[in-house]
Amino acid sequence: MSQRMRLMWIPNQQWRWMRTAATLVLICWIIPQVAPAQDLGTWELLLENAGIACMHAALTRFGTVVMIDRTDIGASQIGLPAGVCRDSDDLVLKHDCTAHSVVFDPVTKTVRPLFLQTDPWCSSGQFMPDGSLMQTGGDFDGVRKIRTFVPCEASGICDWVESTTQELQSGRWYSTNQLLPDGRQIIIGGRSAFNLEFIPPNANGPLYFPFLNATNDDQNDNLYPYVHLLPSGNLFVFANRDSIEYNYLTDTVVRTFPRIPGEPRNYPSGGSSVMLPLLASNNFSIVEILVCGGAQYGAYLNSAAQMTCSNTCGRMVVSDPNPTWAMDDIMPIPRCMGDMILLPTRDVMIINGAQQGSQGWTNAINPAFSPVLYYTYASPGYRMLTMAPTTIARMYHSTANLMQDGRIFIAGSNPHQFYVFDVDYPTELRLEAFSPHYLAPSHDLQRPTVTVSPLQITYNTPFTVTVSAPVTLAGPPEINLVSAPFSTHSYQQGQRVVSLAVSSSVQIALATLYQITAVAPWGPTLAPPGYYMLFAVNEAVPSTAVWVLLST
């Protein structure tokens, strides 16, 4: 290289270095102010062996989680108390001294066995206004059973009680429960059950429900129908690809909605659905339904093909005069058997599931390890964010429940008829918790704490919420009520978020302490009576919830 070339080369290299350094300085200055690194959540193993595979789960007002599996599988891996056994006509084990339901305490990370006599396989349930869990149907000797669990403190001895004087009017297997404004439960559908009924029962017996007959196909894609109580008091009912607005008081179909494009969405195709949060800011006048995932038609009938699951989401404003499905959102990965969890921030977490196949024994492969965060109020096409993955497959018969500290409790996955452990996708007895992005330490300065007075609130009546935070709040926090649903088969029965009106916010003596006046929901069609988690949310960061009882 000549001296002249060296002289040219050195300044050019210096210029390139200087330009690169300047670019890096500019990027480092911009990124913290415009786009801080997105926290993608973290996973925690809560318990190595819960003793049972969790087919159904529900969070109680004491913060414990009731977990249920079927009984006709032989022995579980957790024993009943000494001297307690179950005698039945089960095909596998007629004298069984193991438990098929447990209650998990997240504080001590321990489980306590519960006693179930009849089989709750693929049953349904929901909490009653007094906080008791009503659990209905199942298979074999459980198909008409009504079971009740009255929760107690973690140190208590509460257990299942199965009614010996009342039973369902029709056998229920793969049905859906919804708490009604008057405190009754409506139970819709089930395998070969094209009808509905109420608890307490009505005098006319089960009512024929033609919609379920019309949505049936060779795969029975109308099982576990999605049922959402609308603020009008009517029910939104979705099965297969169709949906209606139903007035259960007059037994009439008020409206028929357009068919959702794409694949079947209900069991066994394994999509999921939520009614998006109801907002005081629009006087609860905008009601939107979100349905995501599912399986190609034929995936269940031809399980060996392991067809790719759906990656589409449909969103419809059912309160519009002429509603249509908007199919603008594509999930980052295809998913069936995913659970959709309404978060206290009013966004949605899509978690669990598989990328190929359908629900049913050994019908799916390729687990969907990564949750997806769905930003409810972002623009179409920008609503999805892939979160940190787990290492545990959560496919058929897995559950997900929002906890009062904002984590998501994850349990179950049993793609087999019995407990099987030496296969690619074994029966899963481990319990996990997923901490969403808002629980990251980087949000600790925004995280509020909340107390409520009184703990029992009355419809359409103001009440006081005291909120504190480590630093001065930018403005009044959101006050959101979140129900505790019954989680099973990729659908959270009774899931609901109601964002309340805040009529005043007063900063008191301490600079970071606020007294907020919120107004309870105006009526039971907006939020049925019962226990709710109350979250204060500051700049998209929620508090730990306080349980409140909403009543007349």
Whether omega for the bond prior to residue 277 falls within 30 degrees of 0, making it cis, is no
Instruction: Report the alpha-carbon distance of residue 104 to residue 71 in Å, rounded.
Output: 18
Q: Give the pLDDT score at 266.
A: 98
3-state helix, strand, coil in the chain (%, to 5): 10, 40, 55
- Pairwise pLDDT comparison (471 vs 210), residue with the higher score: 210
pLDDT of amino acid 20: 39
Burial 127-159 (b: 16+ CB within 10 A, else e): bbbebbbbbbbbbbebbbbbbebebeebeeebe
Of 32-36, 92-96, 102-106, 514-518, where does mean pLDDT reach its minimum? 32-36
Taken in order 524, 527, 530, 531, the sign of the CA dihedral is negative
Query: Which residues are CB-neighbours of 333 under 8 A, at least 6 positions away?
Result: 311, 355, 368, 370, 372, 386
Q: What is the pLDDT of residues 171-230, one digit of tens each?
A: 999 999 999 999 999 999 999 999 999 999 988 889 999 999 999 999 999 999 999 999
In this predicted structure, what is the pLDDT of residue 16?
Answer: 36
Least confident stretch, 204-218, 251-265, 402-416, 508-522 = 508-522
Q: How far is CA 9 from CA 1, 6, 17, in A?
A: 10, 5, 12
pLDDT-based confidence at residue 504 (cuts at 50, 70, 90): confident
**245-270: burial string, b at 16+ Cβ within 10 Å, e else:** bbebeeeeeeeebeebebbbbbbbbb
pLDDT-based confidence at 506, cuts 50/70/90?
confident
Q: What is the mean pLDDT of residues 471-487?
A: 92
Residue 453 has pLDDT above 70, yes or no: yes
- Res. 330 pLDDT band, cuts 50 70 90: very high
The reported pLDDT for the residue numbered 477 is: 92
**Residue 37 banded pLDDT, cuts 50, 70, 90:** low
What percent of the chain is predicted at pLDDT more than 70?
93
> pLDDT value at position 203?
85
21/8 Cα distance (integer angstroms): 20
pLDDT given for residue 27 in this prediction:
33
CATH fold label, 42-439: Methylamine Dehydrogenase; Chain H (2.130.10)
3-state secondary structure (DSSP) of residue 437: helix
Angle at alpha carbon of residue 522, lines to 521 and 523, rounded to 5°: 95
Q: Band of the pLDDT at 329, cuts 50, 70, 90?
A: confident
What residue segments make up the domains of the chain, in order of their start?
Answer: 1-32, 42-439, 442-551
Is a pLDDT exceeding 80 seen at residue 13?
no
Q: Exposure pattern of 422-441 as b/e (b: 16+ CB <10 Å)?
A: eeebbbbbbbbbbbbbbbee
Run of H or E residues at 185: strand 185-188
| Amino acid in position 517 | T
In 3D space, the residue among 352, 318, 355, 321 whose CA is nearest the CA of residue 335 turns out to be 355
Confidence bin at 22 (pLDDT 50/70/90): very low
Mean pLDDT of 418-422: 96
Per-residue pLDDT band at 509 (split at 50, 70, 90): low
Inter-CA distances, 50 with 47, 114, 290, 530, Å = 6, 12, 32, 29
pLDDT on residue 38: 76
Report the pLDDT value the prediction gives residue 205, as an integer from 0 to 100. 87
| SS3 assignment, position 9 | helix
Secondary structure, 3-state, 478-522: EEEEECCCEEECCEEECCCEEECEEEEEEECCCCCEEEEEEECCC
Report whether pLDDT(251) > 70: yes
Average pLDDT, the chain: 92
Region for residue 197 given its phi and psi (left: phi exceeds 0; alpha: psi -120 to 50; beta: otherwise): beta
3-state class (DSSP) for residue 435: strand
Stretch 508-523: mean pLDDT: 88
Predicted confidence (pLDDT) at residue 24 exceeds the cutoff of 60: no
The DSSP-derived string for 280-349 is GGGTT---EEEEE--B-TTTTTTGGG-PBBP-EEEEEETTSSS---EEEEE-SS--BS-EEEE-TTS-EE
- What mean pLDDT comes out for the span 87-95? 93
* Whether pLDDT at 85 is above 90: yes
Task: Specify the higher pLDDT residue, 147 or 91.
Answer: 147
> How do beta strands 501-507 and 95-96 pair?
unpaired
Fold of 442-551: Immunoglobulin-like (2.60.40)
Rounded to an integer, what distance in angstroms lies between the CA atom of residue 331 and that of residue 287?
Answer: 22
Cα separation, 225 vs 289, in Å, equals 14
Say what the pLDDT of residue 17 is.
37
